[in-house]
Structure 1
Amino acid sequence: MNISASTTLAPPPRDIYSISRLNREARSLLEGSFPLLWIEAEISNFARPASGHWYFSLKDEAAQVRCAMFRNRNSVVDFVPKNGDQILIRARIGLYEARGEFQIIAEHMEAAGDGALRRAYDELKHRLQQQGLFATEHKQPIPDTINRIGVITSPTGAAIHDILTTLKRRYPSAKVIIYPVAVQGAQSAAQISSMIQTASARNEIDVLIIARGGGSLEDLWSFNEEVVAQAIYNCSLPIISGVGHEVDVTIADLVADFRAATPTAAAELVSPNQFELRTKLQLLRSRLIQSNKRNYKHLQQRLSWTLKRLQHPGRLLQEYAQRVDDLQTRTYQSITGQISHNKLEQALLYEKLAALHPARQISSQIQYCQTLSTRLRQSIKQQLHSKQQQFLGQTQVLNTVSPLATLERGYAIVTHTLDNEDSENSNKQTLVRDANNLNVGDRVTTRLHSGKIKCNVLEIENE
C-alpha cells in the first residue's frame, strides 16, 4: 500500500501600508538621504499668508519644485523676494505628509546673480535719491556753444568709435580730448571717478561725455558704483551720460546733468548738424546785412537832420542878442513889480501898526466895557422882572389851595378839645368831620376867616 503526502507552504503575511505610513516613511527616507543643499533657482508663485510663513515654487528651464520657508527662518532675511527673483537657498529635502507632496524646506536665503545686483542697485538708488544727488536744481545746462569735448571711455571700445564718427560727420571742427579708462572690471569704477576729477580740475573742455557700449547689468556695474556717482555730482563740468542702450538706466545716468540713450546720441547732443549750422549762419548773415542797411539809412537821416538844424554864427549871435534884451526887459519888470509889491506891503503894515496903538486899544476896551455894563443892567432887570412874575404866579396858586381862602368864602374849621387826665393828651385839638364824634357838653373851637369862637355843644342833629 503506497501512501503519498503533500505539504503546502503558507504564504508570508502581507505588510499593508496606509497612506499616512507611506508618506511618513518616504519623508524619513528623503530627510535621511540628503544633507543640507545649496540650490539656485528662480522664484514663482510667491505667497505670504498672515501666519508669516513663505510659500513659493523654485524653477529652472526644465522643472520646478514646491518650497516653504517658515517664519522663524525668513525673519532674518534682509529682503522680501518677489516672483522672478533669482535666489540662492540652503535647504533640506522633505515631504508634506498631508498631501504627499515633495517639497524643500529653506533654512537660509540670499539673492543670486542679477537679483543681488538689482537689489544693490535699488538700495543705492534710494539712498542717493534721499541725499539729493538726482535733484533737478543741481543739474547744469548744456552750453549753447561747444568747442572742446571730453570723453571718458575705453580707448578701444565701440563707444569711442561711434562718438568720433558722429563728431567727424556733424562737427569736424570740434576738439576732442579722450580720458582713457577701463569700463569693466574691479578697478574700473575707481579709474572712472579719478578721470572725472582730473577733467574737472584741468577745466580744459566745455562738456564731458561718459560713455560705454551695451551689456548686462553686471557688465555695466562700474557705472552703478557710489564712487562714480559722487564724482559726477561734485564735477564742475556739465556731464552727459551715454552708457549702454536706451533700456539700460544706470546710477550715472540719474546723477548726470543729461542722459543720452546711447554714445552716438551723446555725441549728437554736443554737436550741431552741419546743414543746420550752415543754414543758421546764412540766416545770421542776412540779418547782419539788413541790420547794416538800416543803420546806414538811419545815420544818413540823422546827418540830414543835423545839417538842417545847423545855423550861421551871425544868426546865432542875433538870436542870443535878442534873448539878452528880452532877459533885461523881464528883469527890469520883475524888479519894478517887486518894489511896488513891497511898498504895498509896507502900507498895509503901517495900517496894522496904527490899529494896534495903545490909545486905540484902550478906547476900544472902554467902549467894550460900557457895552457889557449896559447889557448886564438890562439882563438884571429882565431877570428880576421874570422872578417877580414867577413869585406872583406861585402866590396865586398857594392862595387857591390854602385853607384860609376856603374860610374866606364863609366856611369854618371846627376842632374838639379833649379833656383827659393824661397830661400828654390834655387840651389836644382834633378836627371834627362827623357830628357823631361829639357829645352834648363837649367844648369845640370854631375857626373863622377872621378870629375863633369857643363853643359848647348843646344839641346834636344828624342829617
Structure 2
Amino acid sequence: MQDFEETPLRQVFSVSELSGAARKLLEDNFPLIWVEGEISNLAQPASGHLYFSLKDPSAQLRCAMFRMRGRLLDFKPENGQQVLVRAKVSLYEARGDFQLIIEHMEEAGDGALRREYEAMKRQLRNEGLFEVAHKQPIPELPKQIGVLTSPSGAAIRDILSVLKRRFPAIPILIYPIPVQGQGAAEKIARAIELANIRRECDVLLLSRGGGSLEDLWAFNEEVLARAVFKSRIPVVSAVGHEVDFTIADFVADARAPTPSAAAELLSQDRQEWLARLNSLQRRLFASMQNRLRQTSQQLDWLSRRLQSPGQRLARISSRVNELQQRQITALRHLLRRRQDKLLNLRARLMQQTPAQRVAVLHERYNHLHSRLERAMHERLQDSTQRLATLGHALDTVSPLATLGRGYALVQRVSDGELLRDASKINTGEQIQTRLAKGSLLCRVESSQND
C-alpha cells in the first residue's frame, strides 16, 4: 500500500473576514500621520462628507473626510490644491479600498509657513518677548539713525527721501543686509549685534519692501527675533506693507506700517522745529529782559532801605508813640461800646414787664380774630359759588334737560326695554313715551327703518 502524507488543515477566510482583519491591522499599526499631496477627484454628496484622492507624481490615495470634520475647515478644498492632512490609515471593507480617514486638513506651502509663523508667535509671546514693559523709548530727535536694509532696494530710497524732506540734518548710517533667502535671518541678527557693539547710532531701523509670506520669512525666524529683543539700542521695524506683520514687528520697540512711515516716525518736521526754536529764543530773550528789570528794581529797593542807626531809632520811637495812641483810642472805643450795651440791656428789661406783655398779646388776639372772621366769610362765599357751578353742570348733563329740549324716551310696555331701533318693535305693541312733562301711552301702527 502506498503511504500518503497527512495534509495539514487549511484556514479559509471569507472576504469580509479578510477585509476586516486587514482594516484592523492597518488601524492598529499606523497612528495618526501627516500626508501632503494634491487633491483630485473631489466629490461632496448631499451627506456633506468629502471624498477625494491625494496624489503626487508617483501614486495616489483615496481619502474620506466626514461632515463633522469638514465643518472645521477654514478654506474650500478644490481639485489641484496642495494640502497637508492629518489622517488615520484604514480600509473601506465594502470595496476593499485602502484609504485615509481625514481628521484635519490645511493648505500646504504658504499654509505650512503660516502654521509655523503662528507657532513661533505663540512661543515668543509666552516667553514675554512681546511685553510692553520691555519696549525701549524711541528718541524724539535721533543723533544718528542706523538703517538695516538692502542698499539696492526701494525701501532705502523711500527712507532717504523722507528724511531729506523732513530733517536732512540727521545723519544716516546704512548697515547692508540681505532681506530674504537662505541664511538671511542670521546675517541680519549679526548686523544688529554689530550695531550694538559699535554704538554709533541711538536708534536702529529694520526695513524692507513688501512681498509674500515666503519673501518676508527671514523676519519671522527666531534668531532674528531674539537679536531684536536683546538689542540695547531701540529698534523700529518697518517690514513690508501695512497689512504685513512679522515676528520682528511684535518684538521691536516700535512698528511702522511702511519704510516711509518709519522715516516719518524717526524724524521731526524741519519747519516745525525751526518755529519751536524761534519761539524758545523769543521766550529766552523776554525772560532775560524780565529778570534784568526785576534785579534792577530789587537793587533800587535795597538801596532805599539802607539807613543809619539814628534814623532807625527815630523811626522805631515814632512807631512806639503811634502804637500808644492807637491803644488809648482802642480802650476808649471799647469802654463806649460797653456803656452802649448796658443801656440797651436796660431798655430791653423794661420792655419785658407783664403789663406790656399782656397788652401785646391782647392786640395780637384781636388781629387774629379779625383775620379768622374774614377767612370764614371768604370760604363760605367760595363754597356757595362752587355749589352753584356744580349744580349748573349737573343740570346740563341731566336726562331731564335733554327731554326739555324736545327729545323723548320710548319704552316697550311689556318688558320696559328702552327702545333705540325701530326694528325692535312690532306693529300693534304698546309703548310708553316719556316727555319733559308727563308721558304718553301709544300703540304702534307701523315702523320705518332709515
Matched, 1:267 2:263: yes
Secondary structure of the 2:243 match is coil
Distance across 1 between alignment mates of 2:51 and 2:163: 53
Distance across 2 between alignment mates of 1:294 and 1:129: 56
Asked whether the equivalents of residues 63 and 101 of structure 2 are also in contact (C-alpha less than 8 Å), the reply is yes
Going from structure 1 to structure 2, the CA distance change for 1:308 and 1:91 (only over 3 Å counts) comes to closer
Q: Map Cα deviations across residues 178-225 of structure 1 (whole Å, 9 max, x no partner).
A: 111100011110011111111112111111100000000000000000
The aligned amino acid for 1:39 is: G
Aligned to 2:187: 191
1:22-61 matched pairs, under 5 angstroms? 39-41=37-39, 55=50
Q: CA deviation at 1:82?
A: 3.5
Distance across 2 between alignment mates of 1:103 and 1:160: 56
Q: Map Cα deviations across residues 14-48 of structure 1 (whole Å, 9 max, x no partner).
A: xxxxxxxxxxxxxxxxxxxxxxx963359x999xx
Distance across 1 between alignment mates of 2:43 and 2:203: 49
Aligned to 1:82: 74
Q: Map Cα deviations across residues 332-384 of structure 1 (whole Å, 9 max, x no partner).
A: xxxxxxxxxxxxxxxxxxxxxxxxxxxxxxxxxxxxxxxxxxxxxxxxxxxxx
Distance across 2 between alignment mates of 1:45 and 1:209: 51
Matched, 1:127 2:127: no
Q: CA deviation at 1:282?
A: 2.0
Aligned to 1:295: 291
In angstroms, what is the RMSD of aligned CA positions?
Answer: 4.2
The equivalent position to 1:160 in structure 2, one of 147, 151, 156, is 156
Flag structure 1 segments of 5+ consecutive residues without an equivalent.
1-36, 60-65, 75-79, 324-463
Q: CA deviation at 1:57?
A: 7.1
Asked whether the equivalents of residues 91 and 104 of structure 1 are also in contact (C-alpha less than 8 Å), the reply is no
Asked whether the equivalents of residues 63 and 100 of structure 2 are also in contact (C-alpha less than 8 Å), the reply is yes
The aligned amino acid for 1:211 is: S
Aligned to 2:351: none
Distance across 1 between alignment mates of 2:161 and 2:222: 31
Distance across 2 between alignment mates of 1:170 and 1:104: 65
Asked whether the equivalents of residues 148 and 204 of structure 2 are also in contact (C-alpha less than 8 Å), the reply is yes
Q: Map Cα deviations across residues 399-438 of structure 1 (whole Å, 9 max, x no partner).
A: xxxxxxxxxxxxxxxxxxxxxxxxxxxxxxxxxxxxxxxx
Asked whether the equivalents of residues 40 and 112 of structure 1 are also in contact (C-alpha less than 8 Å), the reply is no
Distance across 1 between alignment mates of 2:169 and 2:155: 20
Structure with max Cα Rg = 1
Name the TM-score, length of structure 2 as normaliser. 0.51
Distance across 1 between alignment mates of 2:53 and 2:173: 51
Name the TM-score, length of structure 1 as normaliser. 0.50
Aligned to 1:213: 209
Secondary structure of the 1:293 match is helix
Secondary structure of the 1:231 match is helix
Matched, 1:146 2:146: no
Aligned to 1:248: 244
Aligned to 2:330: none
Distance across 1 between alignment mates of 2:231 and 2:36: 45
Aligned to 1:340: none
Asked whether the equivalents of residues 121 and 224 of structure 1 are also in contact (C-alpha less than 8 Å), the reply is yes
Q: CA deviation at 1:320?
A: 9.2
Secondary structure of the 1:179 match is strand
Asked whether the equivalents of residues 135 and 253 of structure 2 are also in contact (C-alpha less than 8 Å), the reply is yes
Aligned to 2:340: none
Asked whether the equivalents of residues 64 and 102 of structure 2 are also in contact (C-alpha less than 8 Å), the reply is no
The equivalent position to 2:169 in structure 1, one of 170, 173, 194, is 173
Secondary structure of the 2:299 match is helix
Distance across 2 between alignment mates of 1:219 and 1:105: 34
Q: Map Cα deviations across residues 88-114 of structure 1 (whole Å, 9 max, x no partner).
A: 45999x99999x9x9974679775211
Distance across 2 between alignment mates of 1:144 and 1:91: 55
Asked whether the equivalents of residues 39 and 91 of structure 1 are also in contact (C-alpha less than 8 Å), the reply is no
Distance across 2 between alignment mates of 1:202 and 1:188: 21
Q: Map Cα deviations across residues 249-294 of structure 1 (whole Å, 9 max, x no partner).
A: 0000000111000001001111111121122122212222221222
Aligned to 1:328: none
Distance across 1 between alignment mates of 2:214 and 2:107: 14
Aligned to 1:398: none
Matched, 1:204 2:200: yes
Secondary structure of the 1:289 match is helix
Asked whether the equivalents of residues 184 and 219 of structure 1 are also in contact (C-alpha less than 8 Å), the reply is yes
Going from structure 1 to structure 2, the CA distance change for 1:67 and 1:264 (only over 3 Å counts) comes to same
The aligned amino acid for 1:235 is: S
Secondary structure of the 2:172 match is strand
Asked whether the equivalents of residues 89 and 106 of structure 1 are also in contact (C-alpha less than 8 Å), the reply is no
Q: CA deviation at 1:58?
A: 8.6
Asked whether the equivalents of residues 68 and 105 of structure 1 are also in contact (C-alpha less than 8 Å), the reply is yes
Secondary structure of the 1:177 match is strand
Distance across 1 between alignment mates of 2:111 and 2:275: 51
